[in-house]
Amino acid sequence: MNRIDKRFKELQRRGETAIIPFLTCGDPDADATVELVVGMAEAGADIIELGIPFSDPQADGPTIQAASLRALENGVNTEVVLNVVSRIREYTDVPLVLMGYYNPVLQYGLGRFAKAASEAGADGTIIPDLPLEEAGPWQTEARRHGIANIMLVAPNTPDHRVEKNARASRGFLYYVSVLGITGARTDLPDTVSQGLKRVKGLSRLPVCVGFGVSTPEQVRKLSAFADGVIVGSAIVNRIRKEMSGTDTRGRKAAVASLARFVAGLKAGTRPPE
């Protein structure tokens, strides 16, 4: 049982839903990523997704694409990401999930990447462009090194395929709330709750919902149906606005501001007192 499984068991005992922030590693720089992750963990983040920058992020909208480009321009590569994970582990035990595309993992070497990620302190991976039919070799290496490979399903995924992805997944199953790319949205379709009910009925694992979630109100509504809520673009936007060009004092204030935002999101996952 890795840190992700333990966290969901703890949340179940407390009657809470997980809040899962996403940020791109190396945006605006590696040091900032360490500070932000630690601050978010202290603010109540249950699991944190750390994006591996990639030049062609097919599933991501403009916000995360731009963050990925900025990180790449800063020289962030797979080695840097793994080093950041190791540095984060000096401060917090929060479960960490690496979210990235298959090409960098394949180029690094499947076994080598799984071993290095595990040794650095990562707990899971999400590879959105790796379909179930082609995931076998990576899943074998991930399991060998104790990495939970998290699969994705969408509103139009048929039941039989949801079941297959759920069986192949570890940690949790990622439910994509809307068809298309990532990006903060002011409104989510009413059908999200129905989709979550359907998928939860087909999965033995916790089901977490992402894509488009941006406000504490959305988190509160989705917490009634999901085991975890993922917030990405809204956080990446805030990082860009609040940390760009700041000095040391300004950076500390920005980290504190983002931690408060995460704390507000987490509040929506707790049962009413």
| Cα–Cα separations (whole angstroms), residue 45 to 23, 265, 267 | 12, 9, 10
pLDDT for 65 = 86
Q: Is 60 tagged catalytic?
A: yes
Within 8 A by CB and 6+ apart from 120, the residues are: 82, 83, 85, 86, 89
**Percent of the chain at pLDDT exceeding 90:** 81
d(CA 64, CA 50): 12
- pLDDT of 212 reads 80
Q: Specify the DSSP element, H or E, that contains 18.
A: strand 18-24
Q: What is 3-267's CATH topology?
A: TIM Barrel (3.20.20)
pLDDT of residue 56: 75
pLDDT value, residue 189: 62
- Evaluate whether 174 touches 153 at the Cβ level (below 8 Å): yes
Provide the pLDDT for residue 251. Answer: 85
From the list 27, 49, 123, 227, the catalytic residue is 49
Amino acid sitting at position 209: V
| Domain positions in the chain | 3-267
pTM metric for this prediction: 0.93
Q: How far apart, in whole angstroms, are the C-alpha atoms of residue 266 and residue 255?
A: 16
Query: How far apart are the C-alpha atoms of 68 and 25, rounded to whole Å?
Result: 8
Told to judge if 46 belongs to the known catalytic residues of this protein, a careful annotator would answer: no
Residues of the chain whose pLDDT is less than 70?
57-61, 179-189, 245-246
List, as own/partner pairs, every contact residues 109-116 make where C-beta atoms lie below 8 angstroms and the sequence separation is at least 24, other chains included.
Answer: 110/137, 110/138, 110/141, 111/141, 111/144, 113/78, 113/141, 114/138, 114/141, 114/142, 114/144, 114/145, 114/147, 115/145, 116/82
Marked catalytic residue, from 60, 123, 141, 227 = 60
